[in-house]
Amino acid sequence: MRHVRRLELVKHGEPGEFRLVTGEPLLPSHHEVVVAVAYCGLNRLDLWTEQGRLPLPISLPRVLGGEISGTILRTGNRVHGMAPGTKVAIQSNIYCGSCEYCQNEEHSLCLHSQLLGVHRDGGLSDEILVPASMVHPVPDSTDLKSLASVVLAGSTAMHMLTNRSTIHPGQKILVIGANSGVGCYAIQIAKALGAWVVATASSPEKASLARSLGADAVVNHHLTHWPHEVRRLTAKQGVDLIIEHVGGTLLEQCFHCLARNGSIVTCGATAGQSISLNLWPFFVKQQKIIGSYGRTHADFIHTLQWLENGQLKPVIDSIHPLESATAGLIQLRNRQAIGKILIQLQNPENV
Ligand SMILES: [Zn+2]
């Protein structure tokens, strides 16, 4: 019998305590699918879950990981059209499909949302059990490494740039953190939609990555005067849109880079959940700050299409075996990753 490995978080901390266990194969109920995980990307959400810093109760043990590619292993008896061996991507923000927001295609606002790797077990395991409606078949030719690297980070950026905001060709856009998952895909999406892009990066290597992805200019956000540099690059006008996912002081500094009538779209708070905001310039310049969370099903599908037609280039830092996943989390926490850190589950010849 196949032994199913799973890396369980058993105690919160920085680092948390994990144990690698083996168990029985998972069995799907009527509308569920068991996916053999090929690759699972690590995300800052995993760090928050590991540390117990999310503002919600998490029952332990828990398997982390929401950035998943794999192949269908077995299906419930009411699931049709998903043959074993089919390559798939999994939407990690599981939505109910029936609440008022889901009915309106606003799946990221679902009243009964569950996150893979947070509310239910994620992808740091040989097998994962998910509702069939969250599993999307992809062409046989799809590279599963590339798929895992864009499935969550790319669709988060897609939601920020095409759902929570609208880009017009020629607009000036600032992308914070070019080396992050969201950052490296936001640069590519913004460029493809015709924007002029300035990105922030904190080292020459990260700046070089930003330029290779299409950024027109790069500034170092570790320098205290970096917002002045953004204003200089935009003839003192500032940028029309900022894609932000860090929060704290960095988000406060973003307002100094923002043009009249400009918007900041934000989806994270790693550097701090509270900020101070000077309301006078904010309303005089008619600026906006817009929250963004997860993705809709349409954002998810668009991201897979963009990957398939070559418009999104995967950015992968490194690939580790499951036994080294905790080392990958440390690398992510220390901000040493340039692009996605992937954990490989299946044997390479099978993927
Ligand atoms: Zn819902």
Distance 95 CA to ligand 1 centre (A): 5
Interatomic CA distance for residues 323 and 345, integer angstroms: 10
Same fold, 4-151+315-350 and 157-291: yes
**What is 157-291's CATH number?**
3.90.180.10
Architecture per CATH, domain 4-151+315-350, reads as Alpha-Beta Complex (3.90)
Q: Is 309 exposed, middle or buried (0-12, 13-18, 19+ CB in 10 A)?
A: exposed
Distance 36 CA to ligand 1 centre (A): 26
Whether the predicted model's global pTM rises above the 0.75 cut = yes
For 135-186, write each residue's pLDDT tens digit.
Answer: 999 999 999 999 999 999 999 999 999 999 999 999 999 999 998 999 999 9
Distance 335 CA to ligand 1 centre (A): 34
Distances from the Cα of 27 to the Cα of 124, 132, 161, 319, angstroms: 17, 13, 38, 28
Among 1-5, 8-12, 94-98, 341-345, name the one with the lowest average pLDDT. 1-5
Distance 17 CA to ligand 1 centre (A): 33
Distance 229 CA to ligand 1 centre (A): 43
For 88-138, write each residue's pLDDT tens digit.
Answer: 999 999 999 999 999 999 999 999 999 999 999 999 999 999 999 999 999
Helices and strands of the chain, counted as H and E runs: 11, 18
What ranges do the domains of the chain cover?
4-151+315-350, 157-291
